Structure 1
């Protein structure tokens, strides 16, 4: 997502064989990736940064071979709409509200995209994917519970509202 991240990743992967090619590009644009080439595409907490979900998923579909897997994770759509204060959960905004929003968990402005679960599923289907599995589970160790106390991903909130959504799909 930035030249700084590409530089750090290139340094980390400098001894990797075969050589890895990294690109900095909006997800809605093809940075020169081949079509019908990859067996698996992963998106680990990145898809929510896309400003055009349908275009991004259309690109992922083009990159995958038929039968290829697309697996992504993102913050669960309920998580950012619910607030936990003094052990009480409240909705801060409607679940039905979609679009860009300023995410409060960051120390600096971070504009993310808010989608309903149905938007993710319907966009995957309309872009030629079959959903194979979906996870909304939360598993926190005692260390996680202590480390995340009074933070965005607090244990108190995670007991009632899933923090993460993971979907495994297949290109039709």
Structure 2
């Protein structure tokens, strides 16, 4: 993707997040990892965060940072491309009595984040927006302490390839297709690409991570938060809707 395409993608997606935000997507803030997946209460991927330093990439309205504040994290940091989302996060955290360092910027860019600093970096349904996956993972690795954890969730690629109609599932596009395309989300245009699971695995390895867990299990109670139970629930019985990765910096 060239600089013009990157700029256009950031501009298009930033407009969406500035105008819409993630308030309507109840299943993409902790303890939820996304559509129809198990929750942090069940998975315990973070464990005890008391006294730890955490960075949320794509922090949105700040609810996930608030979740960690409630669990006694020592430092809360957030990064988001949308100024509107950063303002919402600041308000949410301030009203909850938490101080946080919030930065408005793209995850692919140099944003002045400290090196070898964080115990945990995480991203709940945001990492897939990056225009440079390898560059983003390399940056995440640089921000983490040795042995630090990187936890992220995103829509499972197979979910984006399969459609469900009249009780039958069928492939609507190739699993190997990772091209960027215009899509509609909540009535607005966005630009996204779907990436193979192997693309994430290989990019993590190249950035110096070892994968400790990959979760694809489903949970119907989480799916209810989307308000789309019928087709999605049937589809989730055939393919995973969300992938959650837990990786450790070597």
TM-score by length of 2: 0.64
- Residue from 239, 243, 250 that aligns with 1:161: 239
Residue aligned with 2:173, SS: coil
Per-residue deviation, 1:103: 3.3
Q: 1-side partners of 2:230 and 2:168: how far apart?
A: 13
Q: 1-side partners of 2:248 and 2:84: how far apart?
A: 32
User: Which aligned runs of 4 or more in structure 1 are off by greater than 4 angstroms?
Assistant: 15-18
Could you say what the CA RMSD is over the residues aligned between the two structures, in angstroms? 2.0
Q: 1:16 to 1:146 in 2, by over 3 A?
A: closer
Q: Is the 8 A contact 1:67 1:170 kept in 2?
A: yes
The equivalent of 1:102 in structure 2 is 182
The equivalent of 2:149 in structure 1 is 69
Per-residue deviation, 1:146: 9.4
Bigger share in helix: 2
Alignment of 1:3-152 (within 5 A): 3-15=83-95, 19-141=99-221, 144=224, 147-150=227-230
Stretches of structure 2 that go unaligned for 5 or more consecutive residues are 1-80
Q: 2-side partners of 1:142 and 1:22: how far apart?
A: 28
Q: 2-side partners of 1:87 and 1:167: how far apart?
A: 30
The one-character-per-residue Cα deviations of 1:45-86 (angstroms, maximum 9, x if unpaired) are: 001000000000000000000000000000001011111111
Q: Is the 8 A contact 1:101 1:114 kept in 2?
A: no
Stretches of structure 1 that go unaligned for 5 or more consecutive residues are none
* Count of matched residue pairs: 170
